[in-house]
Chains A and B, each alone.
Chain A
Amino acid sequence: MSATPQLASRSFVLLTIGDRRFALPAESVSELVVPGSMQTFPHTTPLVTGVLFRRGRIVPVCDLAPVLVGRDAPPRRFYLIAQRRFGAQCEWNAIPVTGNCELINAEMSPPSEGAEAYVSGCIAANGESVGVLDIERVVAAYAAPSAVTIGGEAQP
């Protein structure tokens, strides 16, 4: 058992966006769903591409790919339903991902030197060091000026 809570083994969801792998703490993830019909309406929020209506709930779709892998990311095939925090409140968002996800137990270590600001830590997965995402920092990293969009900028 590790000496600090930070190094205790936890569950993470491994996800793929484009050709890169990332992780999210499992407690912040609800499910992986196949794309339904994303619906769009005019808005000005960057990265939000539309909403899903799922199980009586409206779930915004937040596409992180432009920040994580650039605008030419390959199509995303699934939505990972993950939690975003807005102050004391939380909200489920659908994160488009490229492929299947995997649940693993791992110890999280501090981010490596030079890691992107949105990486809150690293885990070892299949011999690879994978960055654990802080979704709010990913969204904050999107520095492009706000432009009106109807969504559909990135179709999973």
Chain B
Amino acid sequence: MNHAPVSRPAKRKPRRSEPVILFSVASASFAIAASSVHEIRSTDSLAGSAAEIEAPGVRKVRHTIERSGKTYYVVNAGMHFGLPITRPALVLVLRDSLSAVLIDSIEEMAEISTLHALPRAFCGAERHWYRGLAVLGERVVPVVHSGGFLTSQELSLLEAARPADSSLANAGIEGVASA
């Protein structure tokens, strides 16, 4: 059988080793760049400081939290990824993002040397969710994009659902995916 030419180098983006945090939600594993995580808190520790929010069309966000003078929308990662409902125990407060993410647990820290591009066969929302795929041993783990938890459209809906006097003062924040 003859092989037609297939693009190869573009599939892989050689990088320096990058520390990542492996976390799990409903038995699915994900990685996120350690540099994208500002803080990891237990959900219990935030119970008193979270404010409720209800934005039609953004059911995955039910609360906001204030950290270091900044307001974060708390995204339920299970709902975001369409996974079974769990009881999240931890919150990842992200850097350079308006999102804090509810997760089940931290698995481990790891280093990845290669970020594989998401294959073109994947053509849905996952192209916003993931920066690419990492191989850890024999496992293939999606590396989440810290700005992929909320689209600009969802942010607009959330902003509209907030009381007028508590508008987010985060105009310069980067990393929010387009709708």
Q: Do A and B come from one complex?
A: yes
Question: Which interface class (under 10, 10 to 19, 20 to 34, 35 or more) fits B?
Answer: 20 to 34
Q: Select from chain B the residue with minimum beta-carbon distance to A146.
A: B124
Q: Does B28 lie at the interface of the complex (its beta carbon under 8 Å from any beta carbon of A)?
A: yes
B42-65 contact mask (Cβ, 8 Å, vs A): 1 or 0:
000000000000000000000000
Using Cβ atoms and an 8 Å threshold, which residues of chain A touch B141?
41
Chain A interface main SS type: strand
Q: Does A28 lie at the interface of the complex (its beta carbon under 8 Å from any beta carbon of B)?
A: yes
Question: Does A43 contact B28, Cβ atoms closer than 8 Å?
Answer: no
> When chains A and B are docked, how far (Å) is the Cα of A13 from the Cα of B133?
31
Q: Does A103 lie at the interface of the complex (its beta carbon under 8 Å from any beta carbon of B)?
A: yes
Question: Does B28 contact A27, Cβ atoms closer than 8 Å?
Answer: no
Partner-B contacts on A (CB < 8 A) = 11, 13, 26-31, 37, 39, 41-45, 48, 51, 53, 57-60, 62, 83-84, 86, 89-93, 103, 146, 148-150
21 A/B residue pairs, CB under 8 Å, sorted by A = A27-B2, A30-B3, A39-B140, A41-B29, A41-B141, A42-B129, A43-B129, A45-B122, A45-B124, A51-B119, A58-B133, A83-B4, A84-B120, A86-B120, A89-B7, A89-B120, A91-B119, A91-B120, A103-B1, A146-B124, A148-B82
